[in-house]
Amino acid sequence: MKEQIGLEIKVGLMALIGLIVLAILVFSIGDYNFFQKRKQINLVFNYAGGVEESAPVRLAGVKIGEVHSVALVPVYDQMEQKTGVQVRVWLDRSIDIYENADVYVNTLGLLGEKYIEILTPGTTDQPLVKHGGILRGHDPVPIEKITQSTHEIVGDLRTLLGGLNDVVGDEEFRESLKTTVYHFETTADNLRDATSKMRAGEGSLGNFVYNDSLYNELDGFAREIRKNPWKLLKKPKTDEKEAEQKGGDSNRGFLN
């Protein structure tokens, strides 16, 4: 009898040990650390975008927690009650999240799984979101709205292209465009000829730019003025003689 009881105890202990090992394996595969210190934060959205339980929570692309539950809750927006979504998440307690954190519902790839993305944890000048606190998230854009906006843009483009076709198809517009292109080509040819002549030293502008003698004269004049700046104030002798003659004539007229 005692041997039978001892055998049952051994079998029971082996089964218990097996269950413990199995539980540890399950938590390990699920990337869940039972002994890790975590905190709970309630994220509120108007639209959850399809995020589900056990979805990862990432900060700057690094997993720091997971979604515990998703539930509909009343949300007050400008004193108006609406139906919102509360996403309860468990986060690593060592991560500080502040009230001005940017929280989004994101997608891995184009059609991948939905997850919570904390783009920025906020700044230290704002209150810290504590365990059990509430944080407002940014609503994702529904794919239906994106599709609708795309259809509207396509419609506007069609209207614009239709208007362009009407303008381009007008005979007067075509003739005006041909005339404009002709005048542009003529102006370009004239400018090309003027540039060629200027490079050849022809014309006043060509002499001014490419004639070394004019440059040498101006350079010599500038050097002379730097050496003798008083020459700028000296009047030529011919001007003094003319002034004296004018003064003498005026005096004679006055005497007569």
Q: Long-range contacts of range 67-70, CB-CB < 8 Å, 24 or more positions apart?
A: 67/115, 67/116, 68/40
Supply the pLDDT for residue 102. Answer: 92
pLDDT band at 35 (very low <50, low <70, confident <90, very high): low
> Around Cβ 75, how many Cβ atoms within 10 Å?
16
In a domain, 248, yes or no: no
More confident residue, 31 or 2: 2
In a domain, 54, yes or no: yes
The conformation of residue 187, written as its DSSP 8-state character, comes to: H
Model pTM above 0.85: no
In a domain, 238, yes or no: no
Distance CA 67, CA 51 (A): 9
- CA distance readout (Å), 185 to 13, 116, 181, 190, 202: 98, 60, 6, 9, 23
175 in the same domain as 209: no
217 in the same domain as 188: no
Among candidates 64, 138, 48, which has minimal Cα distance to 100? 138
Distance CA 38, CA 40 (A): 7
More confident residue, 141 or 27: 141
167 in the same domain as 90: no
Supply the pLDDT for residue 253. Answer: 45
In a domain, 3, yes or no: no
More confident residue, 234 or 127: 127
**Domain residues for 223?**
200-233
More confident residue, 98 or 253: 98
Q: Is the pLDDT of residue 87 over 90?
A: yes
Supply the pLDDT for residue 251. Answer: 47
In a domain, 210, yes or no: yes
In a domain, 23, yes or no: no
pLDDT in tens, 92-150: 888 899 999 999 998 887 667 889 999 889 999 999 999 989 999 888 876 666 677 78
pLDDT in tens, 161-199: 777 776 666 677 778 878 888 888 888 888 888 787 777
In a domain, 253, yes or no: no
Distance CA 174, CA 182 (A): 12
In a domain, 76, yes or no: yes
122 in the same domain as 50: yes
Supply the pLDDT for residue 77. Answer: 65
Across the chain, what does the average pLDDT equal? 77
Supply the pLDDT for residue 255. Answer: 42
Stated as kind and residue range, the H or E segment containing 131 is none
pLDDT band at 23 (very low <50, low <70, confident <90, very high): confident
pLDDT in tens, 42-57: 999 988 888 899 899 9
In three-state secondary structure terms, 106 is strand
Domain count within the chain: 3
150 in the same domain as 184: yes
